[in-house]
Amino acid sequence: MLEIKNLHAKVNDNEILHGIDLTVKAGEVHAIMGPNGSGKSTLAHVLAGHPGFEVTEGEVVYEGKDLLSMAPEDRAREGVFLAFQYPVEIPGVGNTYFLKAALNAIRKHRGLEELDAMDFLALVKQKMKLVEMDESLLNRPVNEGFSGGEKKRNEIFHMAVLEPKLAVLDETDSGLDIDALKIVAQGVNSLRSPRRAMILVTHYQRLLAYIIPDHVHVLFNGRIVKSGGKELALKLEEKGYAWIEEEIEKAQPVNS
């Protein structure tokens, strides 16, 4: 479904990604782990099309299409979803109103009929249960006054409603206590499907104990330096990122 080839990207003249190669198939869950500053969030934002990041080299093929040439809203309409690490608050724009506009834009693109207010509300009530979302948060402005946990759950709630094909979750576990984490993980797991792929960007192994990945990749200085199965995550947890650094140094030829 997704093929990232030699992706280089920079922000504010700092090159962050130095050549990422990654293939993700439908039904798979990939975890991208790495220390702070490794480029995890940059990768997530580049996939979503954030204008602040500039791709300097490489390509991303999504379902046979050139993803990098598509506007953010077109990527969303084609089924790409980014769950933000720090979801922004939008005062004055209702959560439900916003979500309905988004869903109908996606449905229209797919040639489906737009949902009216009643049908949408029925859908919303059903999806809310997946993340134990409180009804009172439906009519509040988007994320306004939401706690950290509520914001993360709201992201997964949006994901449940919009039903993307490729979901990129950017440090969805950050700032969550264990109970909130379990609810979010439960929500994500309920959305796993053979036709859906997920990329979990995470710093800690913790989340991956609840959302078991098929593949784990370690991002270091803007490159994927190690890939493996779910055991890799456990090893990282045990040994820390310093272990990766050592491994890389050992593999490098000595520079004169």
Least Å distance between CB 137 and another protein? Answer: 16
Q: Could you tell me the smallest distance in angstroms from the CB atom of residue 50 to another protein?
A: 6
User: Interface with another protein includes 20 (CB under 8 A)?
Assistant: no
Minimum gap (Å) between residue 61 Cβ and another protein: 19
By the rule CB under 8 A, 226 interacts with another protein: no
Helices 117-128, 148-162: inter-axial angle, 10-degree rounding: 120
162, 176, 183, 232: which one contacts another protein (CB under 8 A)? 162
- Contacting range for another protein; rule: CB under 8 A; set: 23-31, 76-84, 117-125, 207-215: 76-84
- Number of Cβ within 10 Å of residue 11's Cβ equals 17
CB of residue 152 vs another protein: minimum separation in angstroms?
Answer: 14
Among 34, 39, 49, 222, interactor with another protein by CB under 8 A: 49
Note whether 92 binds another protein by CB under 8 A. Answer: yes
158 binds another protein (CB under 8 A): yes
Rounded distance between C-alpha atoms, residue 209 and residue 53, angstroms: 31
DSSP string, 1-14: -EEEEEEEEEETTE
Q: Coil, strand, or helix at residue 60? A: strand
Q: Of 77, 132, 82, 149, whose CA–CA distance to 108 is shortest?
A: 77
Contact 216, 233 (CB under 8 A): yes
For the bound state, the minimum distance from the C-beta of residue 83 to another protein, rounded and expressed in Å, comes to 10
**Maximal C-alpha separation, the chain:** 70
Of the candidates 30, 40, 75, 152, which one interacts with another protein according to CB under 8 A? 75
E strand spans, the chain: 2-11, 14-24, 29-33, 54-62, 65-66, 80-83, 90-94, 141-142, 166-170, 197-202, 215-220, 223-228
Chain contacts with another protein (rule: CB under 8 A): 48-51, 71-73, 75-77, 81-82, 84, 87-88, 90-93, 98-99, 101-103, 105-106, 109, 141-142, 158, 162
